[in-house]
Chain A
Amino acid sequence: MSTGTRRLEIEEVGDVTVAKFIDKKILDEGNIQIIGNQLFALLEEDGRLKIVLDFSNVEYLSSAALGKLITMDKKVKAAKGKLRLCAIRPDIYEVFAITKLNRLFDMKDNLEAALEGL
Protein backbone atom coordinates (compact mmCIF):
# COMPACT_ATOMS: atom_id res chain seq x y z
CA MET A 1 0.00 0.00 0.00
CA SER A 2 1.18 3.49 -0.69
CA THR A 3 2.69 5.46 2.14
CA GLY A 4 1.62 8.82 3.53
CA THR A 5 -1.47 10.22 5.13
CA ARG A 6 -4.72 8.83 3.82
CA ARG A 7 -6.23 11.27 1.33
CA LEU A 8 -9.26 9.21 0.35
CA GLU A 9 -12.22 7.96 2.35
CA ILE A 10 -13.17 4.56 0.97
CA GLU A 11 -16.65 3.06 1.10
CA GLU A 12 -17.98 -0.09 -0.55
CA VAL A 13 -21.48 0.17 -2.02
CA GLY A 14 -22.33 -3.28 -3.43
CA ASP A 15 -19.57 -4.03 -5.93
CA VAL A 16 -18.71 -0.35 -6.35
CA THR A 17 -15.90 1.39 -4.50
CA VAL A 18 -16.57 5.01 -3.62
CA ALA A 19 -13.42 7.04 -3.01
CA LYS A 20 -14.12 10.44 -1.49
CA PHE A 21 -11.39 13.06 -1.54
CA ILE A 22 -10.69 14.33 1.98
CA ASP A 23 -8.78 17.48 0.96
CA LYS A 24 -10.50 20.75 0.10
CA LYS A 25 -7.57 21.79 -2.05
CA ILE A 26 -5.78 19.37 -4.33
CA LEU A 27 -2.83 21.51 -5.32
CA ASP A 28 0.38 20.44 -3.70
CA GLU A 29 2.56 18.18 -5.82
CA GLY A 30 3.36 15.92 -2.84
CA ASN A 31 -0.31 15.49 -1.96
CA ILE A 32 -1.22 14.85 -5.58
CA GLN A 33 1.45 12.15 -5.72
CA ILE A 34 0.00 10.47 -2.61
CA ILE A 35 -3.55 10.76 -3.93
CA GLY A 36 -2.42 9.25 -7.23
CA ASN A 37 -0.74 6.33 -5.47
CA GLN A 38 -3.82 5.68 -3.32
CA LEU A 39 -6.09 5.82 -6.36
CA PHE A 40 -3.88 3.48 -8.40
CA ALA A 41 -3.69 1.06 -5.45
CA LEU A 42 -7.49 0.68 -5.49
CA LEU A 43 -7.16 -0.80 -8.94
CA GLU A 44 -3.73 -2.38 -8.98
CA GLU A 45 -3.47 -3.76 -5.45
CA ASP A 46 -7.08 -4.22 -4.36
CA GLY A 47 -8.40 -5.20 -7.80
CA ARG A 48 -11.39 -2.85 -7.66
CA LEU A 49 -12.87 -2.33 -11.10
CA LYS A 50 -15.90 -0.13 -10.45
CA ILE A 51 -14.79 3.11 -8.89
CA VAL A 52 -16.62 6.35 -8.16
CA LEU A 53 -14.59 9.42 -7.21
CA ASP A 54 -16.58 11.75 -4.96
CA PHE A 55 -15.50 15.40 -5.21
CA SER A 56 -18.00 16.84 -2.73
CA ASN A 57 -15.23 18.14 -0.41
CA VAL A 58 -13.06 19.57 -3.17
CA GLU A 59 -13.00 23.36 -3.57
CA TYR A 60 -9.83 23.70 -5.64
CA LEU A 61 -7.78 21.54 -7.89
CA SER A 62 -4.94 22.29 -10.25
CA SER A 63 -3.91 20.93 -13.62
CA ALA A 64 -1.43 18.63 -11.86
CA ALA A 65 -4.41 16.90 -10.21
CA LEU A 66 -6.14 16.62 -13.60
CA GLY A 67 -3.06 14.78 -14.85
CA LYS A 68 -3.40 12.13 -12.15
CA LEU A 69 -7.11 11.71 -12.90
CA ILE A 70 -6.33 11.19 -16.58
CA THR A 71 -3.74 8.53 -15.72
CA MET A 72 -6.25 6.85 -13.39
CA ASP A 73 -8.90 6.87 -16.12
CA LYS A 74 -6.47 5.25 -18.56
CA LYS A 75 -5.53 2.56 -16.04
CA VAL A 76 -9.16 1.76 -15.27
CA LYS A 77 -10.06 1.58 -18.97
CA ALA A 78 -7.06 -0.67 -19.65
CA ALA A 79 -8.26 -3.02 -16.89
CA LYS A 80 -11.76 -2.95 -18.44
CA GLY A 81 -13.12 -1.29 -15.34
CA LYS A 82 -15.38 1.71 -14.94
CA LEU A 83 -14.56 5.07 -13.40
CA ARG A 84 -17.05 7.82 -12.64
CA LEU A 85 -16.59 11.27 -11.14
CA CYS A 86 -19.36 12.89 -9.13
CA ALA A 87 -20.44 15.85 -6.97
CA ILE A 88 -18.14 18.33 -8.71
CA ARG A 89 -18.98 21.92 -7.83
CA PRO A 90 -19.56 24.38 -10.68
CA ASP A 91 -16.21 26.21 -10.37
CA ILE A 92 -14.33 22.93 -10.61
CA TYR A 93 -16.58 21.65 -13.39
CA GLU A 94 -15.55 24.70 -15.39
CA VAL A 95 -11.92 23.57 -15.10
CA PHE A 96 -12.91 20.23 -16.68
CA ALA A 97 -14.98 22.01 -19.35
CA ILE A 98 -12.24 24.48 -20.34
CA THR A 99 -9.77 21.64 -20.81
CA LYS A 100 -12.48 19.53 -22.52
CA LEU A 101 -11.91 16.74 -20.02
CA ASN A 102 -15.67 16.59 -19.51
CA ARG A 103 -15.57 14.66 -22.81
CA LEU A 104 -13.07 12.17 -21.44
CA PHE A 105 -14.54 11.48 -18.02
CA ASP A 106 -17.90 9.98 -17.11
CA MET A 107 -19.23 12.69 -14.76
CA LYS A 108 -22.44 12.65 -12.72
CA ASP A 109 -24.12 15.32 -10.61
CA ASN A 110 -24.20 13.33 -7.38
CA LEU A 111 -23.28 10.02 -5.79
CA GLU A 112 -26.71 8.43 -6.35
CA ALA A 113 -26.52 9.15 -10.09
CA ALA A 114 -22.92 7.87 -10.20
CA LEU A 115 -23.90 4.56 -8.58
CA GLU A 116 -26.83 4.04 -10.91
CA GLY A 117 -26.13 1.43 -13.55
CA LEU A 118 -22.39 1.24 -12.88
Chain B
Amino acid sequence: MAQIAQFDVWIPNDTAEARDVQERIVGLMEQNAWPMRECFGVRLSLEEALVNAIKHGNRMEPDKKVYIACELTEDELTIVIEDQGNGFKLEEVPDPTEDDNLEKPGGRGIMLIRSFMNGFSYNDKGNRLTIRKKMGVENEE
Protein backbone atom coordinates (compact mmCIF):
# COMPACT_ATOMS: atom_id res chain seq x y z
CA MET B 1 0.00 0.00 0.00
CA ALA B 2 1.36 3.42 -0.92
CA GLN B 3 3.07 5.34 1.81
CA ILE B 4 1.42 8.67 2.63
CA ALA B 5 3.70 9.95 5.35
CA GLN B 6 6.75 8.85 7.25
CA PHE B 7 8.83 10.61 9.86
CA ASP B 8 10.90 9.94 12.91
CA VAL B 9 11.96 12.28 15.68
CA TRP B 10 13.76 12.41 19.01
CA ILE B 11 11.97 14.59 21.56
CA PRO B 12 12.98 15.81 25.03
CA ASN B 13 11.50 13.87 27.96
CA ASP B 14 8.52 16.19 28.22
CA THR B 15 4.80 15.45 27.87
CA ALA B 16 4.07 18.78 26.13
CA GLU B 17 6.58 17.89 23.37
CA ALA B 18 5.04 14.41 23.17
CA ARG B 19 1.59 15.91 22.75
CA ASP B 20 2.80 17.97 19.77
CA VAL B 21 3.86 14.75 18.02
CA GLN B 22 0.58 13.14 19.05
CA GLU B 23 -1.31 16.03 17.39
CA ARG B 24 0.85 15.71 14.25
CA ILE B 25 0.06 12.00 13.91
CA VAL B 26 -3.67 12.36 14.59
CA GLY B 27 -3.71 15.35 12.20
CA LEU B 28 -2.32 13.11 9.45
CA MET B 29 -5.05 10.56 10.15
CA GLU B 30 -7.77 13.23 10.03
CA GLN B 31 -6.42 14.64 6.77
CA ASN B 32 -6.62 11.15 5.28
CA ALA B 33 -10.23 10.59 6.35
CA TRP B 34 -9.69 8.03 9.10
CA PRO B 35 -12.89 7.45 11.11
CA MET B 36 -13.29 9.68 14.18
CA ARG B 37 -13.50 6.70 16.51
CA GLU B 38 -10.17 5.38 15.27
CA CYS B 39 -8.55 8.81 15.62
CA PHE B 40 -9.83 8.81 19.21
CA GLY B 41 -8.33 5.37 19.90
CA VAL B 42 -4.96 6.25 18.37
CA ARG B 43 -4.80 9.57 20.22
CA LEU B 44 -5.52 7.87 23.51
CA SER B 45 -3.03 5.08 22.78
CA LEU B 46 -0.32 7.62 21.93
CA GLU B 47 -1.06 9.57 25.12
CA GLU B 48 -0.76 6.43 27.24
CA ALA B 49 2.33 5.10 25.45
CA LEU B 50 4.19 8.42 25.51
CA VAL B 51 3.38 9.10 29.16
CA ASN B 52 4.59 5.57 29.98
CA ALA B 53 7.85 6.20 28.10
CA ILE B 54 8.46 9.57 29.77
CA LYS B 55 7.28 8.73 33.28
CA HIS B 56 7.96 5.02 33.78
CA GLY B 57 10.64 4.38 31.13
CA ASN B 58 12.74 7.53 31.40
CA ARG B 59 11.56 8.16 34.98
CA MET B 60 10.96 11.87 34.26
CA GLU B 61 14.73 12.42 33.90
CA PRO B 62 15.16 15.66 31.90
CA ASP B 63 18.37 14.59 30.14
CA LYS B 64 16.71 11.57 28.55
CA LYS B 65 14.87 11.52 25.22
CA VAL B 66 12.08 9.63 23.53
CA TYR B 67 12.26 8.35 19.94
CA ILE B 68 9.07 8.31 17.89
CA ALA B 69 8.75 6.88 14.36
CA CYS B 70 5.53 7.03 12.37
CA GLU B 71 4.55 5.49 9.06
CA LEU B 72 1.15 6.04 7.49
CA THR B 73 -0.14 4.25 4.40
CA GLU B 74 -3.63 4.50 2.91
CA ASP B 75 -5.02 2.03 5.40
CA GLU B 76 -2.43 1.39 8.09
CA LEU B 77 -0.60 3.37 10.77
CA THR B 78 2.54 2.07 12.46
CA ILE B 79 4.22 3.86 15.34
CA VAL B 80 7.39 3.03 17.25
CA ILE B 81 8.07 4.64 20.63
CA GLU B 82 11.39 4.05 22.34
CA ASP B 83 12.63 5.40 25.66
CA GLN B 84 16.10 5.37 27.20
CA GLY B 85 15.10 3.57 30.37
CA ASN B 86 15.84 0.06 31.62
CA GLY B 87 12.66 -1.48 30.21
CA PHE B 88 10.16 -3.74 31.96
CA LYS B 89 8.54 -7.15 31.69
CA LEU B 90 5.07 -6.92 30.23
CA GLU B 91 3.99 -10.13 31.98
CA GLU B 92 4.75 -8.53 35.34
CA VAL B 93 2.18 -5.75 34.86
CA PRO B 94 -0.91 -6.70 36.90
CA ASP B 95 -4.29 -7.00 35.20
CA PRO B 96 -6.18 -3.86 36.30
CA THR B 97 -9.57 -5.47 35.62
CA GLU B 98 -9.13 -8.23 38.22
CA ASP B 99 -11.37 -7.72 41.24
CA ASP B 100 -8.41 -7.13 43.58
CA ASN B 101 -6.99 -4.46 41.26
CA LEU B 102 -10.15 -2.74 40.08
CA GLU B 103 -9.98 -0.05 42.74
CA LYS B 104 -6.26 0.61 42.32
CA PRO B 105 -5.65 3.92 40.56
CA GLY B 106 -2.90 2.84 38.10
CA GLY B 107 -2.06 0.24 35.44
CA ARG B 108 -4.70 0.87 32.78
CA GLY B 109 -2.63 2.51 30.04
CA ILE B 110 -1.31 -0.68 28.43
CA MET B 111 -4.73 -2.29 28.52
CA LEU B 112 -6.24 0.68 26.66
CA ILE B 113 -3.50 0.66 24.01
CA ARG B 114 -3.96 -3.09 23.40
CA SER B 115 -7.67 -2.64 23.10
CA PHE B 116 -7.66 0.30 20.68
CA MET B 117 -4.78 -0.85 18.44
CA ASN B 118 -4.57 -3.93 16.18
CA GLY B 119 -0.89 -4.59 16.78
CA PHE B 120 1.03 -4.21 20.03
CA SER B 121 4.53 -5.50 20.79
CA TYR B 122 7.49 -4.61 22.99
CA ASN B 123 11.10 -5.52 22.29
CA ASP B 124 12.73 -8.00 24.72
CA LYS B 125 14.19 -5.23 26.87
CA GLY B 126 10.82 -3.54 27.20
CA ASN B 127 11.82 -0.02 26.17
CA ARG B 128 10.58 -0.02 22.57
CA LEU B 129 6.91 -0.33 21.75
CA THR B 130 5.53 -0.90 18.25
CA ILE B 131 1.82 -0.26 17.73
CA ARG B 132 -0.22 -0.66 14.59
CA LYS B 133 -3.72 0.33 13.53
CA LYS B 134 -5.46 -0.83 10.36
CA MET B 135 -8.23 1.43 9.10
CA GLY B 136 -11.68 -0.06 9.61
CA VAL B 137 -10.41 -3.16 11.43
CA GLU B 138 -11.57 -3.92 14.97
CA ASN B 139 -9.14 -5.45 17.40
CA GLU B 140 -9.12 -9.28 17.20
CA GLU B 141 -7.85 -9.66 20.79
Interface residues of A (CB under 8 A from B): 27-29, 60, 62-64, 66-68, 70-71, 73-74, 91, 95, 98-101, 103-104
Contact = CB atoms under 8 A, between A and B. Distances in A.
Interface of B: 15, 19, 37, 40, 43-44, 47-48, 51, 96-97, 102-109, 111-112, 115
A74 B19 CA distance: 30
B15 A62 contact: no
Contact of A64 (B40, B51, B104, B115): B51
A91 B37 contact: yes
A100 B51 CA distance: 22
Contacts of A27: 19, 47
A106 to B, nearest CB: 14
A8 to B, nearest CB: 19
B117 to A, nearest CB: 12
B59 to A, nearest CB: 14
A66 B108 contact: yes
A99 B96 contact: yes
B97 A100 contact: yes
A62 B115 CA distance: 14
Nearest to A30: B15
19 contacts: A27-B47, A29-B15, A60-B47, A62-B44, A62-B51, A62-B109, A63-B106, A63-B108, A63-B109, A63-B112, A67-B106, A67-B108, A71-B105, A95-B112, A98-B111, A99-B108, A99-B111, A100-B97, A104-B102
